[in-house]
Amino acid sequence: MNFYLIEAINREGKKQKKILEVDVEEELFRFLEFSGLIPLKVKKVPSFYRYLNIKKYFYRIKRQEIIETLENLHIIVKSGIPITNGLIDIAEDTDNPSLKDMLTDIAYRLQMGYTLSRAFEHYQETFSPIVVSLIKIGEETGSLDKTLKDASEHLKKIEDIKSKTKQALIYPTFAFFSVFGAMIFWLIYVLPKIIDAFKDFNIKLPLTTIFIMNVSDFTRKYFLAVGIFVLILIFLTGLIRKKSDRFRYETDKVLLRLPVFGSIIMNFNYAFFAEYIRLMLSSGVPLYQALNIMESSIKNMVFKTAIKNTREKIERGKSFSESLKEEGVFSPIIIRMIAIGEQAGRLDEQLNYISNYYYNKVDYLSQNIAKMIEPIVIGIVGGFMLIIMLGLVGPIYDLIAEVSKM
Protein backbone atom coordinates (compact mmCIF):
# COMPACT_ATOMS: atom_id res chain seq x y z
CA MET A 1 0.00 0.00 0.00
CA ASN A 2 1.12 3.57 -0.80
CA PHE A 3 0.11 6.60 1.28
CA TYR A 4 -0.31 10.13 -0.06
CA LEU A 5 -0.96 13.44 1.63
CA ILE A 6 -3.40 15.34 -0.55
CA GLU A 7 -4.38 19.00 -0.53
CA ALA A 8 -7.42 19.46 -2.78
CA ILE A 9 -10.55 21.52 -3.46
CA ASN A 10 -13.92 19.72 -3.18
CA ARG A 11 -17.13 20.24 -5.14
CA GLU A 12 -18.20 23.05 -2.79
CA GLY A 13 -14.97 24.93 -3.46
CA LYS A 14 -13.53 24.28 0.01
CA LYS A 15 -9.90 23.37 0.52
CA GLN A 16 -9.22 20.16 2.44
CA LYS A 17 -6.34 17.88 3.39
CA LYS A 18 -6.54 14.12 3.60
CA ILE A 19 -4.39 11.00 3.60
CA LEU A 20 -5.21 8.48 0.87
CA GLU A 21 -4.17 4.85 0.71
CA VAL A 22 -3.95 3.23 -2.73
CA ASP A 23 -2.37 0.10 -4.19
CA VAL A 24 -0.70 1.85 -7.12
CA GLU A 25 -0.12 5.53 -7.89
CA GLU A 26 -2.35 5.44 -10.99
CA GLU A 27 -5.38 4.82 -8.76
CA LEU A 28 -4.79 8.05 -6.85
CA PHE A 29 -5.92 10.52 -9.51
CA ARG A 30 -8.79 8.29 -10.61
CA PHE A 31 -10.01 8.31 -7.01
CA LEU A 32 -9.67 12.10 -6.78
CA GLU A 33 -11.69 12.48 -9.96
CA PHE A 34 -14.30 10.01 -8.68
CA SER A 35 -14.58 11.94 -5.40
CA GLY A 36 -14.89 15.31 -7.14
CA LEU A 37 -11.61 16.61 -5.71
CA ILE A 38 -9.25 18.91 -7.62
CA PRO A 39 -5.71 18.23 -6.36
CA LEU A 40 -3.48 21.16 -5.43
CA LYS A 41 -0.61 19.26 -3.81
CA VAL A 42 0.20 15.56 -3.81
CA LYS A 43 2.98 14.16 -1.62
CA LYS A 44 3.92 10.53 -1.00
CA VAL A 45 4.38 9.90 2.72
CA PRO A 46 5.50 6.98 4.94
CA SER A 47 2.86 4.50 6.18
CA PHE A 48 2.93 5.87 9.75
CA TYR A 49 1.17 9.00 8.45
CA ARG A 50 -2.13 7.12 8.61
CA TYR A 51 -1.92 7.42 12.39
CA LEU A 52 -1.69 11.21 11.99
CA ASN A 53 -5.11 11.32 10.38
CA ILE A 54 -6.76 13.52 13.03
CA LYS A 55 -10.20 13.24 11.45
CA LYS A 56 -10.62 9.57 12.39
CA TYR A 57 -10.00 10.41 16.06
CA PHE A 58 -12.37 13.37 16.19
CA TYR A 59 -15.03 11.75 14.00
CA ARG A 60 -15.13 8.12 15.07
CA ILE A 61 -17.53 5.87 13.21
CA LYS A 62 -20.09 4.66 15.74
CA ARG A 63 -21.53 1.17 15.72
CA GLN A 64 -25.03 2.60 15.20
CA GLU A 65 -23.82 4.28 11.99
CA ILE A 66 -22.47 0.93 10.75
CA ILE A 67 -25.83 -0.72 11.52
CA GLU A 68 -27.71 2.01 9.62
CA THR A 69 -25.30 1.69 6.67
CA LEU A 70 -25.86 -2.08 6.44
CA GLU A 71 -29.65 -1.65 6.68
CA ASN A 72 -29.56 0.96 3.90
CA LEU A 73 -27.39 -1.33 1.76
CA HIS A 74 -29.89 -4.14 2.35
CA ILE A 75 -32.68 -1.93 0.96
CA ILE A 76 -30.49 -0.76 -1.95
CA VAL A 77 -29.60 -4.33 -3.00
CA LYS A 78 -33.19 -5.55 -2.57
CA SER A 79 -34.58 -2.71 -4.68
CA GLY A 80 -32.07 -3.32 -7.50
CA ILE A 81 -30.27 0.04 -7.27
CA PRO A 82 -26.57 -0.21 -8.24
CA ILE A 83 -24.56 -0.55 -5.03
CA THR A 84 -22.01 2.07 -6.14
CA ASN A 85 -24.74 4.69 -6.60
CA GLY A 86 -26.34 3.66 -3.32
CA LEU A 87 -23.06 4.04 -1.40
CA ILE A 88 -22.50 7.51 -2.86
CA ASP A 89 -26.04 8.52 -1.86
CA ILE A 90 -25.50 7.24 1.70
CA ALA A 91 -22.13 9.06 1.85
CA GLU A 92 -23.70 12.35 0.78
CA ASP A 93 -26.41 12.05 3.44
CA THR A 94 -24.07 11.36 6.36
CA ASP A 95 -22.76 14.08 8.68
CA ASN A 96 -19.72 12.06 9.78
CA PRO A 97 -16.69 12.95 7.59
CA SER A 98 -14.90 9.67 8.45
CA LEU A 99 -17.92 7.59 7.41
CA LYS A 100 -18.31 9.69 4.26
CA ASP A 101 -14.67 9.08 3.25
CA MET A 102 -14.98 5.35 3.96
CA LEU A 103 -18.17 4.89 1.91
CA THR A 104 -16.76 6.96 -0.96
CA ASP A 105 -13.62 4.80 -0.97
CA ILE A 106 -15.69 1.58 -0.98
CA ALA A 107 -17.79 2.92 -3.87
CA TYR A 108 -14.62 3.76 -5.79
CA ARG A 109 -13.19 0.28 -5.22
CA LEU A 110 -16.43 -1.24 -6.53
CA GLN A 111 -16.15 0.90 -9.65
CA MET A 112 -12.57 -0.35 -10.08
CA GLY A 113 -13.86 -3.94 -10.20
CA TYR A 114 -13.60 -5.02 -6.56
CA THR A 115 -16.31 -7.22 -5.10
CA LEU A 116 -18.25 -5.72 -2.18
CA SER A 117 -16.66 -8.13 0.31
CA ARG A 118 -13.15 -7.33 -0.95
CA ALA A 119 -13.87 -3.58 -0.68
CA PHE A 120 -15.20 -4.11 2.85
CA GLU A 121 -12.09 -6.10 3.82
CA HIS A 122 -10.15 -2.84 3.67
CA TYR A 123 -12.28 -1.64 6.62
CA GLN A 124 -12.61 -4.95 8.44
CA GLU A 125 -11.70 -3.37 11.79
CA THR A 126 -14.66 -0.99 11.45
CA PHE A 127 -17.23 -3.51 10.19
CA SER A 128 -15.91 -6.63 12.02
CA PRO A 129 -14.79 -9.91 10.38
CA ILE A 130 -18.25 -11.50 10.63
CA VAL A 131 -19.84 -8.76 8.50
CA VAL A 132 -17.18 -9.20 5.80
CA SER A 133 -17.69 -13.00 5.90
CA LEU A 134 -21.47 -12.67 5.62
CA ILE A 135 -21.17 -10.31 2.65
CA LYS A 136 -18.82 -12.78 0.95
CA ILE A 137 -21.31 -15.61 1.57
CA GLY A 138 -24.12 -13.44 0.22
CA GLU A 139 -22.17 -12.76 -2.98
CA GLU A 140 -21.38 -16.45 -3.47
CA THR A 141 -24.95 -17.66 -2.81
CA GLY A 142 -26.81 -14.79 -4.48
CA SER A 143 -28.50 -13.74 -1.24
CA LEU A 144 -26.61 -10.52 -0.53
CA ASP A 145 -29.72 -8.65 0.61
CA LYS A 146 -30.45 -11.32 3.24
CA THR A 147 -26.88 -11.50 4.57
CA LEU A 148 -26.72 -7.68 4.80
CA LYS A 149 -29.92 -7.78 6.86
CA ASP A 150 -28.54 -10.60 9.01
CA ALA A 151 -25.34 -8.61 9.56
CA SER A 152 -27.21 -5.48 10.67
CA GLU A 153 -29.46 -7.48 13.03
CA HIS A 154 -26.43 -9.29 14.47
CA LEU A 155 -24.59 -6.03 15.18
CA LYS A 156 -27.77 -4.57 16.65
CA LYS A 157 -28.18 -7.49 19.04
CA ILE A 158 -24.49 -7.53 20.02
CA GLU A 159 -24.60 -3.77 20.60
CA ASP A 160 -27.68 -4.25 22.78
CA ILE A 161 -25.90 -6.96 24.80
CA LYS A 162 -22.86 -4.67 25.23
CA SER A 163 -25.12 -1.81 26.32
CA LYS A 164 -26.83 -4.00 28.92
CA THR A 165 -23.45 -5.26 30.15
CA LYS A 166 -22.08 -1.71 30.55
CA GLN A 167 -25.29 -0.70 32.32
CA ALA A 168 -24.89 -3.64 34.70
CA LEU A 169 -21.27 -2.69 35.45
CA ILE A 170 -21.97 0.99 36.19
CA TYR A 171 -23.58 0.53 39.61
CA PRO A 172 -21.00 -1.84 41.16
CA THR A 173 -18.20 0.41 39.87
CA PHE A 174 -19.88 3.50 41.33
CA ALA A 175 -20.58 1.70 44.62
CA PHE A 176 -16.97 0.50 44.91
CA PHE A 177 -15.45 3.96 44.34
CA SER A 178 -18.02 5.63 46.62
CA VAL A 179 -17.24 3.27 49.52
CA PHE A 180 -13.49 3.53 48.86
CA GLY A 181 -13.73 7.34 48.77
CA ALA A 182 -15.68 7.43 52.05
CA MET A 183 -13.08 5.20 53.73
CA ILE A 184 -10.22 7.43 52.53
CA PHE A 185 -12.09 10.53 53.78
CA TRP A 186 -12.44 8.95 57.23
CA LEU A 187 -8.80 7.90 57.37
CA ILE A 188 -7.42 11.27 56.20
CA TYR A 189 -9.79 13.88 57.69
CA VAL A 190 -12.01 12.43 60.44
CA LEU A 191 -9.89 9.94 62.40
CA PRO A 192 -6.78 12.17 62.79
CA LYS A 193 -8.83 14.78 64.70
CA ILE A 194 -10.21 12.14 67.07
CA ILE A 195 -6.80 10.51 67.52
CA ASP A 196 -5.17 13.89 68.31
CA ALA A 197 -7.62 14.27 71.19
CA PHE A 198 -6.51 10.91 72.60
CA LYS A 199 -2.85 11.96 72.38
CA ASP A 200 -3.50 15.28 74.19
CA PHE A 201 -4.97 13.46 77.21
CA ASN A 202 -2.28 10.76 77.30
CA ILE A 203 -4.86 7.97 77.24
CA LYS A 204 -3.58 4.40 77.11
CA LEU A 205 -4.63 3.09 73.70
CA PRO A 206 -5.58 -0.53 72.87
CA LEU A 207 -3.93 -2.41 69.99
CA THR A 208 -6.93 -1.86 67.67
CA THR A 209 -6.71 1.91 68.11
CA ILE A 210 -2.93 1.89 67.54
CA PHE A 211 -3.50 -0.10 64.33
CA ILE A 212 -6.10 2.44 63.14
CA MET A 213 -3.73 5.30 64.01
CA ASN A 214 -0.92 3.71 61.97
CA VAL A 215 -3.22 3.12 58.98
CA SER A 216 -4.49 6.71 59.19
CA ASP A 217 -0.95 8.13 59.42
CA PHE A 218 0.21 6.01 56.48
CA THR A 219 -2.79 7.11 54.39
CA ARG A 220 -2.18 10.80 55.11
CA LYS A 221 1.54 10.64 54.37
CA TYR A 222 1.56 8.37 51.33
CA PHE A 223 -1.92 8.70 49.78
CA LEU A 224 -0.65 10.74 46.81
CA ALA A 225 2.35 8.44 46.28
CA VAL A 226 0.13 5.34 46.48
CA GLY A 227 -2.32 6.95 44.03
CA ILE A 228 0.47 7.66 41.53
CA PHE A 229 1.81 4.12 42.00
CA VAL A 230 -1.65 2.65 41.30
CA LEU A 231 -2.01 4.75 38.12
CA ILE A 232 1.45 3.63 36.93
CA LEU A 233 0.55 0.02 37.77
CA ILE A 234 -2.69 0.28 35.76
CA PHE A 235 -0.78 1.79 32.81
CA LEU A 236 1.90 -0.92 32.92
CA THR A 237 -0.73 -3.65 33.25
CA GLY A 238 -2.48 -2.36 30.13
CA LEU A 239 0.85 -2.15 28.28
CA ILE A 240 1.90 -5.68 29.24
CA ARG A 241 -1.57 -7.00 28.31
CA LYS A 242 -1.02 -5.68 24.79
CA LYS A 243 2.42 -7.27 24.54
CA SER A 244 1.93 -10.62 26.31
CA ASP A 245 -0.91 -13.02 25.50
CA ARG A 246 0.00 -15.13 28.55
CA PHE A 247 -0.29 -12.17 30.92
CA ARG A 248 -3.55 -11.12 29.25
CA TYR A 249 -4.89 -14.65 29.70
CA GLU A 250 -4.06 -14.66 33.43
CA THR A 251 -5.56 -11.21 34.06
CA ASP A 252 -8.71 -12.09 32.09
CA LYS A 253 -9.01 -15.25 34.22
CA VAL A 254 -8.85 -13.10 37.37
CA LEU A 255 -11.56 -10.78 35.98
CA LEU A 256 -13.86 -13.74 35.37
CA ARG A 257 -13.46 -14.85 39.01
CA LEU A 258 -14.36 -11.47 40.50
CA PRO A 259 -17.69 -11.35 42.38
CA VAL A 260 -20.51 -9.66 40.41
CA PHE A 261 -18.14 -8.27 37.73
CA GLY A 262 -17.01 -11.76 36.72
CA SER A 263 -20.58 -13.02 36.43
CA ILE A 264 -21.58 -10.13 34.16
CA ILE A 265 -18.52 -10.56 31.91
CA MET A 266 -19.01 -14.35 31.77
CA ASN A 267 -22.69 -14.09 30.77
CA PHE A 268 -21.89 -11.48 28.14
CA ASN A 269 -19.29 -13.74 26.53
CA TYR A 270 -21.69 -16.71 26.58
CA ALA A 271 -24.35 -14.66 24.78
CA PHE A 272 -21.81 -13.25 22.32
CA PHE A 273 -20.38 -16.70 21.56
CA ALA A 274 -23.77 -18.34 20.95
CA GLU A 275 -25.13 -15.47 18.84
CA TYR A 276 -21.97 -15.32 16.73
CA ILE A 277 -21.80 -19.04 15.97
CA ARG A 278 -25.57 -19.25 15.38
CA LEU A 279 -25.47 -16.54 12.75
CA MET A 280 -22.51 -18.05 10.94
CA LEU A 281 -24.03 -21.54 10.88
CA SER A 282 -27.44 -20.28 9.71
CA SER A 283 -25.65 -18.43 6.89
CA GLY A 284 -23.99 -21.63 5.72
CA VAL A 285 -20.50 -21.17 7.16
CA PRO A 286 -18.92 -24.48 8.34
CA LEU A 287 -18.43 -24.72 12.12
CA TYR A 288 -14.63 -24.91 11.86
CA GLN A 289 -14.53 -21.72 9.78
CA ALA A 290 -17.04 -19.99 12.07
CA LEU A 291 -14.82 -20.70 15.09
CA ASN A 292 -11.78 -19.50 13.18
CA ILE A 293 -13.48 -16.18 12.34
CA MET A 294 -14.79 -15.77 15.88
CA GLU A 295 -11.34 -16.31 17.35
CA SER A 296 -10.24 -12.97 15.89
CA SER A 297 -13.38 -11.16 17.09
CA ILE A 298 -13.64 -12.10 20.77
CA LYS A 299 -11.70 -9.92 23.22
CA ASN A 300 -11.47 -12.04 26.38
CA MET A 301 -8.30 -14.16 26.16
CA VAL A 302 -9.75 -17.03 28.23
CA PHE A 303 -12.60 -17.46 25.72
CA LYS A 304 -10.29 -16.82 22.76
CA THR A 305 -7.98 -19.63 23.91
CA ALA A 306 -10.93 -21.96 24.57
CA ILE A 307 -12.33 -21.33 21.07
CA LYS A 308 -8.91 -21.92 19.50
CA ASN A 309 -8.49 -25.22 21.37
CA THR A 310 -12.06 -26.25 20.50
CA ARG A 311 -11.41 -25.59 16.81
CA GLU A 312 -8.24 -27.71 16.91
CA LYS A 313 -10.07 -30.59 18.66
CA ILE A 314 -12.88 -30.50 16.09
CA GLU A 315 -10.21 -30.70 13.38
CA ARG A 316 -8.97 -33.91 15.05
CA GLY A 317 -12.47 -35.42 14.88
CA LYS A 318 -14.06 -34.61 18.25
CA SER A 319 -17.62 -33.32 18.53
CA PHE A 320 -18.36 -29.65 19.21
CA SER A 321 -19.94 -30.27 22.62
CA GLU A 322 -17.19 -32.64 23.75
CA SER A 323 -14.49 -30.16 22.71
CA LEU A 324 -16.18 -27.32 24.61
CA LYS A 325 -16.64 -29.49 27.71
CA GLU A 326 -12.93 -30.30 27.88
CA GLU A 327 -12.07 -26.59 28.01
CA GLY A 328 -13.91 -26.12 31.32
CA VAL A 329 -14.93 -22.56 30.41
CA PHE A 330 -18.49 -23.04 29.18
CA SER A 331 -21.43 -23.71 31.48
CA PRO A 332 -23.13 -27.15 31.66
CA ILE A 333 -26.34 -25.78 30.08
CA ILE A 334 -24.38 -24.67 27.00
CA ILE A 335 -22.72 -28.07 26.70
CA ARG A 336 -26.05 -29.92 27.06
CA MET A 337 -27.91 -27.72 24.58
CA ILE A 338 -25.14 -27.97 21.97
CA ALA A 339 -24.94 -31.77 22.42
CA ILE A 340 -28.70 -32.05 21.83
CA GLY A 341 -28.47 -29.71 18.83
CA GLU A 342 -25.72 -31.83 17.28
CA GLN A 343 -27.69 -35.05 17.75
CA ALA A 344 -30.92 -33.55 16.38
CA GLY A 345 -29.28 -31.61 13.55
CA ARG A 346 -30.65 -28.31 14.93
CA LEU A 347 -27.53 -26.72 16.31
CA ASP A 348 -28.41 -23.20 15.10
CA GLU A 349 -31.78 -23.34 16.95
CA GLN A 350 -30.11 -24.46 20.17
CA LEU A 351 -27.51 -21.71 19.87
CA ASN A 352 -30.32 -19.20 19.38
CA TYR A 353 -31.91 -20.44 22.61
CA ILE A 354 -28.56 -20.15 24.44
CA SER A 355 -27.99 -16.65 23.07
CA ASN A 356 -31.44 -15.46 24.20
CA TYR A 357 -31.06 -17.17 27.58
CA TYR A 358 -27.81 -15.40 28.42
CA TYR A 359 -28.96 -12.14 26.86
CA ASN A 360 -31.94 -12.20 29.24
CA LYS A 361 -29.58 -13.06 32.08
CA VAL A 362 -27.43 -9.99 31.37
CA ASP A 363 -30.61 -7.93 31.13
CA TYR A 364 -31.76 -9.28 34.51
CA LEU A 365 -28.38 -8.46 36.05
CA SER A 366 -28.52 -4.91 34.73
CA GLN A 367 -31.98 -4.44 36.26
CA ASN A 368 -31.24 -6.07 39.62
CA ILE A 369 -27.56 -5.36 40.18
CA ALA A 370 -28.30 -2.92 43.01
CA LYS A 371 -30.01 -5.64 45.06
CA MET A 372 -27.25 -8.15 44.35
CA ILE A 373 -24.37 -5.90 45.34
CA GLU A 374 -26.10 -4.36 48.36
CA PRO A 375 -24.97 -7.15 50.77
CA ILE A 376 -21.35 -6.76 49.58
CA VAL A 377 -21.42 -2.97 50.06
CA ILE A 378 -23.07 -3.33 53.49
CA GLY A 379 -20.50 -5.96 54.46
CA ILE A 380 -17.53 -3.76 53.46
CA VAL A 381 -18.92 -0.64 55.12
CA GLY A 382 -20.02 -2.63 58.18
CA GLY A 383 -16.61 -4.27 58.56
CA PHE A 384 -14.82 -0.93 58.25
CA MET A 385 -17.09 0.78 60.76
CA LEU A 386 -16.80 -2.19 63.15
CA ILE A 387 -13.01 -1.84 63.21
CA ILE A 388 -13.37 1.92 63.74
CA MET A 389 -15.86 1.48 66.57
CA LEU A 390 -13.78 -1.21 68.29
CA GLY A 391 -10.76 1.06 68.10
CA LEU A 392 -12.53 4.20 69.29
CA VAL A 393 -15.17 3.17 71.83
CA GLY A 394 -12.68 2.22 74.57
CA PRO A 395 -10.51 5.35 74.22
CA ILE A 396 -13.59 7.60 73.98
CA TYR A 397 -14.90 6.12 77.22
CA ASP A 398 -11.50 6.75 78.87
CA LEU A 399 -11.48 10.29 77.45
CA ILE A 400 -14.90 11.06 78.95
CA ALA A 401 -13.70 9.67 82.29
CA GLU A 402 -10.64 11.96 82.19
CA VAL A 403 -12.75 15.01 81.34
CA SER A 404 -15.22 14.23 84.13
CA LYS A 405 -12.35 14.28 86.69
CA MET A 406 -11.45 17.84 85.78
User: What pLDDT shows up at residue 26?
Assistant: 65
User: What pLDDT shows up at residue 121?
Assistant: 83
Domain that holds residue 94: 63-127
Q: Please indicate, yes or no, if residue 58 is contained in any of the structural domains.
A: no
- Of the candidates 110, 127, 144, which is a domain's last residue? 127
Hey, what long-range contacts does 51-55 have (CB within 8 A, 24 or more apart)? 52/19, 53/18, 53/19, 55/18, 55/97, 55/98, 55/101
In one letter, which amino acid is 248? R
Q: Please indicate, yes or no, if residue 57 is contained in any of the structural domains.
A: no
Q: Please indicate, yes or no, if residue 38 is contained in any of the structural domains.
A: yes
Question: The whole model's pTM is what?
Answer: 0.68
- Of the candidates 127, 147, 165, which is a domain's last residue? 127
The answer to whether 276 touches 268, Cβ cutoff 8 Å, is no
- Of the candidates 75, 100, 127, which is a domain's last residue? 127
Domain shared by 70 and 161, yes or no: no
Domain shared by 37 and 83, yes or no: no
Domain shared by 346 and 205, yes or no: yes
Domain shared by 110 and 12, yes or no: no
Read off the pLDDT of residues 223-237 as tens digits, 9 standing for 90 and up.
788 888 888 988 898
What CATH number is given to the structural domain containing 119? 1.20.81.30
Q: Indicate whether 350 pLDDT > 80.
A: yes
Domain shared by 203 and 99, yes or no: no
DSSP 3-state percent helix, strand, coil across the chain (nearest 5): 80, 5, 15
Q: Indicate whether 53 pLDDT > 60.
A: no
Domain shared by 331 and 192, yes or no: yes
What is the Cα–Cα distance from 212 to 186, expressed in whole angstroms? 11
> In the predicted model, what is the mean pLDDT of the chain?
79
Q: Please indicate, yes or no, if residue 176 is contained in any of the structural domains.
A: yes
Query: Measured between alpha carbons, how far apart are the two ends of the chain, in Å?
Result: 88
Q: Please indicate, yes or no, if residue 35 is contained in any of the structural domains.
A: yes
Q: Please indicate, yes or no, if residue 266 is contained in any of the structural domains.
A: yes
Domain shared by 93 and 220, yes or no: no
Domain shared by 121 and 134, yes or no: no
The answer to whether 171 touches 373, Cβ cutoff 8 Å, is yes
Among 64-68, 94-98, 392-396, the range scoring the smallest mean pLDDT is 392-396
- In sequence order, what are the residues at sequence separation of 6 or more whose Cβ sits closer than 8 angstroms to the Cβ of residue 92? 100
Name the percent of the chain lying above pLDDT 90.
Answer: 3
What is the Cα–Cα distance from 68 to 72, expressed in whole angstroms? 6
Domain shared by 279 and 391, yes or no: yes
Mean pLDDT of 338-365: 86
Domain count, the chain: 3
Domain shared by 116 and 17, yes or no: no
Domain shared by 120 and 160, yes or no: no
Helices (DSSP H) in 244-286: which residue ranges?
245-257, 261-282
Q: Please indicate, yes or no, if residue 205 is contained in any of the structural domains.
A: yes
Among 100-109, 169-178, 241-250, the range scoring the smallest mean pLDDT is 169-178
Domain shared by 252 and 142, yes or no: yes
Mean pLDDT of 288-309: 86
